[in-house]
Structure 1
Amino acid sequence: MLARTVPLLVISLFALLTFACSSETGTADSKNANLEKITNESGIYSIEDFINTGFKVVKEYDVSELEDSTGAWFGFWKNDSTKSIVLDYEIRTYPSQQLALDKGVKYVEEVIGEDAILGKSLSSWGEGIQDRRTRSGRGMSGSESNTVRAKYLDYIVFGNTMILCEGLDLADARQNCAALVNALDK
């Protein structure tokens, strides 16, 4: 009887652990994955709201040439769920989400992703361009890790803010955006 009970107990425990672990991970991933590129149209946020999440401002940019922006900051944030990973973000604020969409999108889209414009003389807004470049990426090695590329692979428009997000790929960058935004609601 004991010989039959032990394997059954082991299989039951394995199934229970597998279900428990996959349920927890699935919930967090689906919450982050469902974040749309443009959300929370009536939300008005300031840099202080992000600082209250633990976001650390490294540099405040001069926005006099960034059409209708009320501020732009480069900094980093450590996600509570991934304590070992510190990621860079750029946060830009506007008086409203509509102004962020109308005036800010063109400036952001030219500095993110594989086709990013990373030269100060070529960029529409050259302020902070050096902070939008990286030579190494997590998971890259050899000559690939020494190529200049865009640090930010995606962005979101959340309320009156535009958040540029670092990541291994587009999906990872979007999840990193979602994690920071979710921290605002805590």
Structure 2
Amino acid sequence: MTRRFLLITITLVTVMTANCVIGNQEVTSTGDLESGEFKNLFPDKTYSEEDFDHETIKFNKEYDVSELPLAISATRIIFDKKYVEARLYKTADTANEEGKTYAKSVTGPDGVVSGDSVMWKEKERDRRKCVPKAGRSEAGCDQVARYGGFLISGNLVLLCEGLGMVDAHNLCRKLIKQLNE
């Protein structure tokens, strides 16, 4: 009995150790995504609204960009059954400067999506979602950022829905790949 118990224990410890090692390798392979540090994917590319005219992209809403500095358009689309906010700027430089600042403010776990501190008020409720409060069964929720992260490609800033930054970046990259085909 003791020998069998010891064999089972050693097997479980080995499996758990292997899972921990594999799990750590996956996290480090996406370190650049998790840190939020990334480059403009296609800095010389200039996108237009016509680039989004594709069978896999569904237009959902158009936003008034008069209060979004240097933006020429902003649209919410549905791609791969998830929301994406696409913001176009005149140049890649303005997307990298103004666009990045405004996108960073409403994405990820620290995204400010309600209250007086929201930088761009236009349809701000579209950038948040209601998540039930932990450990509570009664009504009530926390307002959290809908968009897990964003990417910049040329003059385009994409805010992508996802459970975390890696999911959001994967969705953004998939859309950018399709736009560049």
* Both proteins in one fold, TM over 0.5: yes
Work out whether 1:123 is the aligned partner of 2:88: no
Deviations along 1:65-100, one digit per CA (max 9) or x if unpaired, are 11111000112112xxxxxxx110000001111111
1:175 corresponds to which of 146, 170, 178 = 170
What stretches of structure 1 move > 6 A for 4+ residues in a row?
none
1:98/1:147 Cα in 2 relative to 1: closer, same or farther (>3 Å)?
A: same
1:141/1:178 Cα in 2 relative to 1: closer, same or farther (>3 Å)?
A: farther
TM-score, length of structure 1 as denominator length = 0.69
1:51 corresponds to which of 50, 53, 57 = 53
Match of 1:66?
68
Q: Determine what percentage of the aligned residue pairs are the same residue.
A: 31
Preserved CA contact (<8 Å) 2:114 2:143: no
Match of 1:160?
155
| CA–CA distance in structure 1, aligned partners of residues 55 and 91 of structure 2 | 21
Work out whether 1:93 is the aligned partner of 2:88: yes
| CA–CA distance in structure 1, aligned partners of residues 134 and 177 of structure 2 | 32
Q: Counterpart amino acid of 1:38?
A: N
Give the stretch that moved more between structures: 122-131 or 50-59.
50-59
Using the TM superposition, give the Cα deviation of residue 170 of structure 1 relative to its aligned residue in structure 2, in angstroms. 1.3
Q: Counterpart amino acid of 1:65?
A: E
TM-score, length of structure 2 as denominator length = 0.71
Number of equivalences: 144
Using the TM superposition, give the Cα deviation of residue 141 of structure 1 relative to its aligned residue in structure 2, in angstroms. 8.6
Gaps of 5+ in 1: 1-29, 79-85
Preserved CA contact (<8 Å) 2:71 2:88: yes
| CA–CA distance in structure 2, aligned partners of residues 163 and 76 of structure 1 | 12
1:182/1:53 Cα in 2 relative to 1: closer, same or farther (>3 Å)?
A: farther
Deviations along 1:35-89, one digit per CA (max 9) or x if unpaired, are x5421111011122123252212111110111111000112112xxxxxxx1100
| CA–CA distance in structure 2, aligned partners of residues 89 and 37 of structure 1 | 19
| CA–CA distance in structure 2, aligned partners of residues 155 and 184 of structure 1 | 16
RMSD: 2.5
Q: Which secondary structure does the structure 1 equivalent of 2:66 belong to?
A: coil
Q: Which secondary structure does the structure 1 equivalent of 2:106 belong to?
A: coil
Preserved CA contact (<8 Å) 1:93 1:160: yes
| CA–CA distance in structure 2, aligned partners of residues 51 and 173 of structure 1 | 21
Q: Which structure dedicates a bigger proportion of its chain to strand?
A: 2
